[in-house]
Structure 1
Amino acid sequence: MDAVIKEAALTYDTGKPLPPGKMAFEEFLVWCDEDTWAEWVDGEVIILTPAARRHQEIKGFLYSVIREFLYYKKAGRVLDAPFLVRLPETLRRGREPDLLYVSNEKLHLLKETYMDGAPDLIIEITSPESLARDRGEKYVEYEAAGVREYWLIDPDRQQAEFYRLGDNGRYQTILPDASGIYRSEVISGFWLKVEWLFQDPPPPVIACLKDMGII
């Protein structure tokens, strides 16, 4: 386990002891209640540290604007953390993305407390503690799992990276257009201006939807 992750797990007081040794995913589900933010990696529990204000504001903005877009388009669901994603069995991972989008075709994979399979889109908002993991381990895992789009938002650098799964099963970097607009492929018709992500405070959701021509 990475030293930084291990240190975070030891120093962040969750109010409940870490389980001894490894456990099955089903045991992890029983142990991990809705007040505990943790991931399951090859049988080990990784405690995630609390998020900073900017992280939460960006997550809240993206969740709200995507949710409202989907309400009008009737095109699936968006969920935010804490909500586990159980990646394919070969990866032995139960990850806790900041945001995930599930198309209508995959809604049957949603269980009461986790998604049993790969979402169509995952969004991770980085922190200094999670940057290497989000750009390294999770990038490889989500690609291998078949997550069709992966957005990586870095509040500290005010940088957004967008990856899309190619026909070869590998992520390709998709750049915003000359106007700074990124258009999603998996959420048909959805787009956003990258500058919206880093406005403080975030722009009103209703104004963004008007720009998109949704309302």
Structure 2
Amino acid sequence: MSIQAGKEAVRETSAAYAVDRESEKTPGRMTFEEFLAWGDEDTWAEWVDGEVVVLTPAGVKHQQIARFLGDLLGNFVLMRQLGEVIPAPFTIKLPAPQERGREPDIVFISRERLHRLKPTYFDGAPDLVVEITSPESFARDRGEKYVEYEAAGVKEYWLIDPDRQQAEFYRLGEEERYRLHTAGAGGVYHSEVIPGLRLKTAWLWQDPPPAGVEALREMGVI
């Protein structure tokens, strides 16, 4: 093969690869079942009104907080046999009439609702959803998802903002509307849906956050 022919082959291969990658990013309209089949365990995407929304990669601080909370909540729930804590990427299919397949950073599903946990998604509203904001997701997490989770009946919604070092904790009230609950004395938040869990918000802003087991020890759990 000549050098020129080789260059042409490389260009054709590169062009075909670019088309393939673009089709992966924007696969077009599909059903929820097609969305599940299209993605895999490494896919970071959501399903909104029949369209696929590919999520941008997370930053270091986002991942540090996600790892800490996943470790803390996961171990606490496991020790007390309260249910399941599942980190992203994992899809939740919000109940009708919403056509949404969201991928929160962390979800907690109580033992009483584990029957709705499917092999590749959760069918319904988790008891707790945690979203850690980024510049790209800030408006979506505070706007669209806030409204969706409230309407779906997610009992607690934690909104963690690493840039502002701000943690907001929302709980569904009797009128099925979110009400903001702040951390109490010492900057400690007491969860309602995970009985006995205490989260010191200062842990979130440490660089890096402590290990989950250290936080549990400080709480006096272990």
Given that residues 165 and 171 in structure 1 are in contact (C-alpha distance below 8 angstroms), is that contact kept between their aligned partners in structure 2? yes
Given that residues 72 and 214 in structure 1 are in contact (C-alpha distance below 8 angstroms), is that contact kept between their aligned partners in structure 2? no
**Cα root mean square deviation, aligned:** 1.2
Q: Is residue 129 from structure 1 mapped to residue 146 from structure 2 by the alignment?
A: no
Which residue, 13, 33, 37 being the options, matches 2:40? 33
Residue 97 of structure 2 is matched in structure 1 by 90
Q: Distance in 2 between matches of 1:204 and 1:28?
A: 35
Identity across aligned pairs (percent)?
Answer: 60
Structure 1 residues 105 and 14: CA distance shift in structure 2, 3 A: farther
Residue 16 of structure 1 is matched in structure 2 by 24
| TM-score in terms of structure 1 length | 0.91
Which residue, 102, 119, 124 being the options, matches 1:117? 124
Deviation at 1:15, TM superposition (A): 8.1
Residue 189 of structure 2 is matched in structure 1 by 182
Q: Distance in 2 between matches of 1:35 and 1:113?
A: 12
Residue 165 of structure 1 is matched in structure 2 by 172
Deviation at 1:205, TM superposition (A): 2.0
Q: Is residue 100 from structure 1 mapped to residue 116 from structure 2 by the alignment?
A: no
Deviation at 1:210, TM superposition (A): 1.5
Runs of 5+ unmatched residues, structure 1: 1-12
The superposition leaves residues 100-124 of structure 1 with CA deviations (integer Å, 9 ceiling, x where unpaired) of 0000001111111100000000000
Given that residues 14 and 36 in structure 1 are in contact (C-alpha distance below 8 angstroms), is that contact kept between their aligned partners in structure 2? no
Residue 207 of structure 1 is matched in structure 2 by 214
Residue 3 of structure 1 is matched in structure 2 by none
Q: Distance in 2 between matches of 1:87 and 1:204?
A: 32
Q: Is residue 77 from structure 1 mapped to residue 84 from structure 2 by the alignment?
A: yes
Name which one, 1 or 2, has greater alpha-carbon Rg. 2
Q: Distance in 1 between matches of 2:216 and 2:118?
A: 30
Q: Is residue 65 from structure 1 mapped to residue 62 from structure 2 by the alignment?
A: no
Given that residues 25 and 54 in structure 2 are in contact (C-alpha distance below 8 angstroms), is that contact kept between their aligned partners in structure 1? no
Deviation at 1:31, TM superposition (A): 1.0
Q: Distance in 2 between matches of 1:69 and 1:17?
A: 37
The secondary structure found in structure 2 opposite 1:91 is coil
The secondary structure found in structure 2 opposite 1:36 is coil
Q: Distance in 2 between matches of 1:28 and 1:80?
A: 19
Given that residues 151 and 160 in structure 1 are in contact (C-alpha distance below 8 angstroms), is that contact kept between their aligned partners in structure 2? yes
Which has the larger share of helix? 2
Give the aligned length.
Answer: 202
Deviation at 1:70, TM superposition (A): 1.3
Amino acid of the structure 2 residue aligned with 1:16: E
Structure 1 residues 208 and 23: CA distance shift in structure 2, 3 A: same
| TM-score in terms of structure 2 length | 0.88
